[in-house]
Amino acid sequence: MQKSRDIKRTGVYRVSGNIGDLQLELKLRHISEWLPVPKFEYAGAQSTNAYGDHYPGSEEDVWHDCYIHVPQGDDSYGGRNCLGYNCSYYNVGTGYTGRRRRSPIAQHGGEDKEKNEEEITDLDLESQSNRSWSILSDNSRPPAGDLFYKRNKELCNGAIATMRISWQQKHFSQAELEQYINNPGSCAPKLQRRYHNWALETLKLQQRYLRKLENLEYAEKQQEPEPIKVRRRIRKPKSKQRGCSAVTHPTITSLSSANMSEVSVLDDPNFAARTCLIHTLLDNDSENLMPAEASEFHKKGYQLMYIYADLQQDTLLVSIRYDPEQGLLYVYPDFSSSAQDLDYVVQIERNNDCRQLYAFGFENVTPLEAYHDDGFSEEADGEDEQELGDGLPIEEDLPEDASAGEILEFYHRRRAAASERRSLLQFEMPPKRMKRVSLLLELQEAQNFENPNIHVRYYLKAPANTYYEGTPGVDTMQGATATCKNAGDWRSAHLGHCWQVTLLLEEQHHPADLLHLYFEVISIDSWQRERCEGYAHYAIPLTSALPTDSIRLQCIRPLGNWLDALNRYFIGGRQLFDFESFFDVHRQSEMHSRLDFNSDRPMTTTGTLSLRLQKLQQRQIDSCDQFHHHFHLDLGNNSSDDGDSNDDEIRSSSNPDTARATTLDEVMAAFVEARKRIELLLGNS
Amino acid sequence: MAEVHIIGQILKAVDFAEPHLYCKWSLQSGNAWRLVQGEVQGQSHVASHRLQSSSDFAQPLDIHLSTASVQGWPRLLVEVYAVNVLQQSWPVGYGFVHVPSTPGTHRLEIGTWKVAPNGLWQSLRERFGGGGAALSKTDLLYSGVERYKLQTLSSGKVIVELNLIFRKFDEYGVEFK
């Protein structure tokens, strides 16, 4: 028996770009089928041999075990016309079982049991038997397998189904197609409506194809009914315009001896998409449809995708899972080096049906990114075969003596590549019911500090009901700038430190909750003595406007008594100073005052820090929210100069509108979820 | 996909101690940003001024970026190099600044710093031997590592004028306030 060509192993890849760029190309092909092992228990077998099946008598008795001749017209039992196992046979239990018209190939596959992938060459010897066989098959086409055959004519005729699948791209199966054909109604979620539209389009495609086929068949019926032996070759489509003459039909493969009406005559390389042969299961779909492991993976935070093929039974071809935290992609089975190789083999064996053998292969065709100079792909995968020239080329230079046409073409290509690059990603929206605030902070200068060699440490404290969103491994909530040596006295130290902080605000976040920024200026001299030079604090509300210029922050430091001053001069050392609670207005029992004679906590002013803040806000936006949006913009423009602005009262007037919109959204979302759940329950029961 | 157009110029460098300067600039942005058209890095000519201590570059910037996220907002990184009579060049200023987040005309002043010499020998080399130290890996500047161990000296300022045009951000609910 045939061993599977390639051992299935899981490929683990580290994703260095955007996972949304992942594209794979899948090719599936029907290789062969062969009879099931003959069963001995069906009644109706005309066995004249008293010993049962173990001692076959004549040559015909051998075959008596495998099938029953069903007389069709003037066909006779046994003899040359029995055609071996290529006839349809009758099984008591299930009636007629699947029998595809596969005469030349099946005979090939039967005779030599090696599975080869080369195109089947035509054999003139088959023609005669072929003719009578086809008459047989015409009348005795069984219903169950017939449906599969009719739907996947090209696949059964040996064509290769090609499909290009992107990450989390939904492809329908036939069952899902039928499910989504029904109009979900106007209050269905966007996803359902989109699926419905796709289903309609696919159905239209299928119907158009069927109509074309019918037209062709009808045209053929006008001519002589006997099968014509024609040599097929791939012809240009312009032959179609010459009317439907019998001889010149473009076809896919060179199945030359087959009856014309049996072979699908229309060249359709994308038949996989049309016939819903390959379908995917995504995170969006319900977990009940996914394999059992899916719920575990979802709990761990993985993103999953399963690719199935809708063959005689639904077969899982590829399972992909992506761990966004680690940036790892697990693909089982692993990518092949080329999809054309068709490395992986699927055997389908069902009761009382022929054993089918399919082979598939898939490869990674993520388009290359030309963002970096060396133009390497952002997906850390070794092989990146570009199948259809979709890859973006490295920027080419215009040759010096280019003609006008070449110049035009060159710029056309560049523009096409640029627009492709633009369309590769979806804009990241904040999660549902959350607002994203991105702060661009910049520490520009430090001035008037006592000692040189200063650096600034900053700490950010996010308010309640916010999440910090950032790249793993990089903490922007605290950090340090570089040390500046010539900073003492009147000189200003250019720090020039920029960083970006992104926060997600929940709905419960109150605008009065401020984001606190703490700065600590430290000096380290040549004897490695550390001294604190000052502390500063700044608080901003995350939802209102910020001052556009740089802010000058005054720094203060605790003085201590004369002993502390001596210590500081000779030894250095930083006292543990709880600046957070010092600056926290709510936690102080009394007011701070500069004129405080209390020697417990005297503070002195030191230098100033110059800080520049910019803010970007991103909300979930709906098209119906447009005028709310304008409303916001109008009010936001008149910003106050102080960062702690209190335009809460202005905001509150706009709040009811948006509040209404969000609660409506919530109601819709809850309704849709409930509907989905009920549908599932009803579907299962 | 939202788009950002950055059109402007690197005007001049002021207050540098060295007279003959040229400027290398580059635009750094996050993962989700793609370059549609334009150059993201370049180098200006050498300029000096006879009377004031400023160098006029007037280096044009024309960059078109497209983005899928607000993260990784682009930053302009400038490195100012000095050239001496022996045609040796060394960096005398590193600075970087966020591209402003509001559309319109902006005039930015980038304060720069240079790597400080470690001892007498290095400062002598800086003065007479062809220049001071340079950062071997400039991604130290914009990555998040602790930088306080890096000893620097304040240098001059680079003045940049930018006009920003933002496109399609309001479709994704982004507001610049």
* pLDDT surpasses 70 at B70: yes
Put simply, the answer to whether B34 touches A445 (Cβ < 8 Å) is no
The whole-angstrom distance between A573's CA and the closest CA on chain B is 17
Most confident of A23-32, A33-42, A81-90, B156-165: B156-165
* Confidence class for position A42, pLDDT limits 50, 70, 90: low
| Cα–Cα distance for residue pair B169/A468, rounded to 1 Å | 22
> Are A174 and A320 within one domain?
yes
Whether the predicted pLDDT of A308 surpasses 80: yes
**What confidence tier does A63 reach under pLDDT thresholds 50, 70, 90?**
low
Domain membership of residue A194 (yes or no) is yes
Identity of the residue in A371, A486, A499 whose CB atom sits nearest the CB atom of B154: A486
Give the residue on A whose Cα is nearest the Cα of B101: A614
Q: What is the CATH number of the domain that holds A540?
A: 2.60.40.150
What are the structure tokens assigned to A679, written together? 């549908």
**pLDDT class for A402, splitting at 50, 70, 90?**
low
Same domain, A328 and A438: no
Residue A37: what pLDDT? 60
Structural domain contains residue B168: yes
pLDDT of residue B170: 82
Compute the distance between CA of residue A534 and CA of residue A520 in angstroms, rounded to an integer.
Answer: 6
What is the residue type of A35? L
Token pair belonging to A451: 């000692």
Average pLDDT of every residue of chain B = 86
The arithmetic mean of pLDDT across residues A118-145, rounded, is 36
B144 is a domain residue: yes
3-state helix, strand, coil in chain A (%, to 5): 30, 25, 45
Confidence of residue A642 (pLDDT cuts 50, 70, 90): very low
Per-residue pLDDT, averaged over A89-113, amounts to 41
In this prediction the ipTM stands at 0.88
The values of phi and psi at residue B34, to 5°, are -120, 150
Are A587 and A466 members of one domain?
Answer: yes
Q: Residue A75, Cα to own-chain centre: how many angstroms?
A: 55
CA–CA min distance A494, chain B (Å): 5
Which residues are CB-neighbours of A206 under 8 A, at least 6 positions away? A274, A275
pLDDT at A379: 36
pLDDT of residue A645: 36
In SS3 terms, A373-409 reads as CCCCCCECCCCCCCCCCCCCCCCCCCCCCCCHHHHHH
Burial class (CB in 10 A: 0-12, 13-18, 19+), A198: middle
A75 has pLDDT over 50: no
Which pairs with CB-CB distance under 8 Å and at least 24 residues apart come from B47-53? Answer: B47/B12, B47/B20, B47/B21, B47/B22, B48/B19, B48/B20, B48/B21, B49/B19, B52/B14, B53/B14, B53/B15, B53/B16, B53/B17, B53/B19, B53/B156
- In chain B, what residues touch A445 (CB-CB under 8 Å)? 111
Q: Which residues pair with B26 in a beta bridge?
A: B41, B77
In the three-class reduction of DSSP (H, G, I as helix; E, B as strand; rest coil), residue B87 is classed as coil
List of chain A residues whose C-beta atoms are within 8 Å of the C-beta of residue B75: 498
- Of A72 and B104, the one with more pLDDT: B104
| Overall domain count for chain A | 2
**Largest Cα span, chain A:** 123
| Span A441-492, pLDDT tens digits | 888 888 888 888 888 888 888 888 888 877 666 677 888 888 888 776 677 8
Q: Which residues of A touch B157 (CB under 8 A)?
A: 494
Whether residue A685 is predicted with pLDDT greater than 80 in this model: the reply is no
For the residues A524-551, what does the mean pLDDT come to? 85
- Cα A656 to the chain's mean position, in Å? 37
Query: How does residue B54 score in pLDDT terms, banded at 50, 70 and 90?
Result: confident
**Of A533-542, A572-581, A608-617, B6-15, where does mean pLDDT reach its minimum?**
A572-581
Closest chain B residue to A473, measured at CA: B144
**In this predicted structure, what is the pLDDT of residue A656?**
47
CB-CB under 8 Å, B32 with A425: yes
Task: Domain count for chain B, please give it.
Answer: 1
Report the DSSP pairing between strands A483-484 and B151-167: parallel
Q: Indicate whether B34 pLDDT > 90.
A: no
Integer Rg of chain A from CA: 37
Inter-chain contact B175–A636, Cβ cutoff 8 Å? Answer: yes
Examine the domain organization and report whether A447 and A588 are in the same domain. Answer: yes
Residues of A in contact with B78 (CB under 8 A): none
pLDDT at A235 over 50: no
Instruction: Give the distance from residue B175's alpha carbon to the nearest chain A alpha carbon, in angstroms.
Output: 5
Does the pLDDT of residue A220 top 60, yes or no?
A: yes
Domain boundary among the residues A303, A333, A363 is at A333
User: Is residue B177 in some structural domain?
Assistant: no
Is the confidence at residue A336, as pLDDT, over 80? Answer: no
- The Cα-based distances of B150 to A79, A445, A529, B135 in angstroms read 95, 16, 16, 10
Please tell me the predicted confidence (pLDDT) of residue A587.
64
Which of A305, A307, A365 is CA-nearest to residue A338? A365
State the best of A394, A422, A459 to mutate against chain B, taking most chain B CBs within 10 Å.
Answer: A422
Residue A588 predicted with pLDDT over 60: yes
Q: How far apart are CA A16 and CA A390, in angstroms?
A: 20
- Binary contact (B149, A371; C-beta < 8 A): no
Domain that holds residue A525: 434-619
Both tokens assigned to B101: 């987040």
Phi, psi angle pair for B37, to nearest 5° = -155, 150
Between residues A233 and A380, which one has the greater pLDDT?
Answer: A233
Beta strands across the sheet bearing A160-166 = A160-166, A23-34, A355-364, A344-348
CB contact under 8 A, B98 and A614: yes
Supply the CATH number for residue B17's domain: 2.60.40.150
Q: DSSP string spanning A349-379?
A: --TTS-EEEEEEEEEE-PPP---STT---SB
Q: Is residue A319 part of a domain?
A: yes
Which structure tokens are listed for A396? 């080419």
pLDDT at A139: 35
- Asked if omega into A104 is within 30° of 0 (cis), the reply is no
Asked if pLDDT for residue A380 goes beyond 50, the answer is no
A265 pLDDT exceeds 60? Answer: no
Whose tokens are 């005054």? That residue is: A554
A612 and A503 in one domain? yes
Q: Which of A558, A591, A619 is the last residue of a domain?
A: A619
Residue B40 near residue B14, CB atoms below 8 Å: no
CB atoms B151 and A425 under 8 Å = no
Q: Domain boundary residue among A299, A333, A367? A: A333
Q: Strand, coil or helix: what is A232?
A: coil
Q: Is residue A209 part of a domain?
A: yes
| Count of all residues that appear for chain A in the document | 685
Task: Return the number of other C-beta atoms located less than 10 Å from residue A500's C-beta.
Answer: 21
Average pLDDT, chain A: 67
Q: C-alpha A369: how far from its chain's center?
A: 17
Least reliable range by pLDDT among A84-88, A224-228, A336-340, B88-92: A84-88
Residues 6+ apart with CB under 8 A from B125: B117, B131, B132
Q: How confident is the model at residue A135 (pLDDT cuts 50, 70, 90)?
A: very low
